[in-house]
Amino acid sequence: MNAFLSLVLRNNKVFRRDKTQVFFSLLSIIIVIALYAIFLQKMQIDTIEQVAQATPEMVTMVNEWLAAGLLSMMAVTTTLATFGITVKDIETKATADFLTAPVSRATIQFSYVANAFLIGLAFSFVALIGCEIFIVATGGNLLSLADFIKVLAILLLSVTLASVFNVFLVQFVSTQNAFSTLGTLLGTGIGFLCGVYVPVGVLPSFAQNLVMYFPISHTTVLLRDAFMQNSISTVFDGVPATDVEAYKVNYGVVYDINGHLLSSTTSIIIILVSIVVLATLSIMIFKKKNK
């Protein structure tokens, strides 16, 4: 246990020391904020104004939509960045040096995962506080205590899923160049796969299915529901239920698969099953590589 904790602390220090790595883990978030400021917010407000009167609450609702997407993306990008240490240690043979001590390969591997989880959780919590400050500063209200706890629970699920998803991907990477390519591809693609860059409803059918069957996107759905539940009721007060449902489906607040709206419980089950499957596959691949 002492060896494991020492490795986690060592990995944490190495990650925090590399300021460039920290910056690039946040780059996709910066891109989303820029896109939102330039046209995403206006585009969504213009769409909603076709069925509901423009109000300050509408702006709050759209800001909450963005906050949910940012938090979901951050869990992925920050945890992936921490696995750069894993690849660097393999390339520089540092992992082999660790094995001169009485430490198993499994312990070394798990220390990287634990570090990713802790870093991802810390960044996500700071981002949540930042989002809340932004929402209040633009005229919105703080989450209630019950909703705040709900969001924290979803973030816990989100970071866990992102950690096992990224450790699975890293099993196929063994050089820094390959890892940089992976980071670029995932950092760019995660905004589309979580329905943040482009609303789900404007994508072609095959792309919509890709988004809705992508496990991490279900953390975005859960976060949007937690953030936006009250504001949606306020903004769409008196609006026909069909128009409200259309907005939710088009903007990924709920998923409509083959005419069936997925419940929050279904999304949670998808996330939990994905965590188990990805963790199991990662362990199997790791054992096979280190026989």
Residue 215: its pLDDT value, please? Answer: 95
Residue 12: its pLDDT value, please? Answer: 84
DSSP-assigned letter for residue 92 = T
Residue 110: its pLDDT value, please? Answer: 85
User: What count of other Cβ atoms lies within 10 Å of the Cβ of residue 228?
Assistant: 22
Q: Six-digit token pair at 38?
A: 């330039």
Mean pLDDT in the chain?
A: 86
Q: Six-digit token pair at 256?
A: 């409509």
pLDDT digits (tens, 9 = 90+) for 231-274: 998 888 888 888 889 989 999 999 998 888 999 999 999 999 99
Closest CA to 30 of 174, 139, 38: 38
pLDDT digits (tens, 9 = 90+) for 88-98: 888 887 776 67
The confidence band for 155, taking pLDDT boundaries of 50, 70 and 90, is very high
User: What count of other Cβ atoms lies within 10 Å of the Cβ of residue 142?
Assistant: 11
pLDDT digits (tens, 9 = 90+) for 191-205: 888 888 888 888 888
139, 126, 88, 167: CA torsion to nearest 10? -90
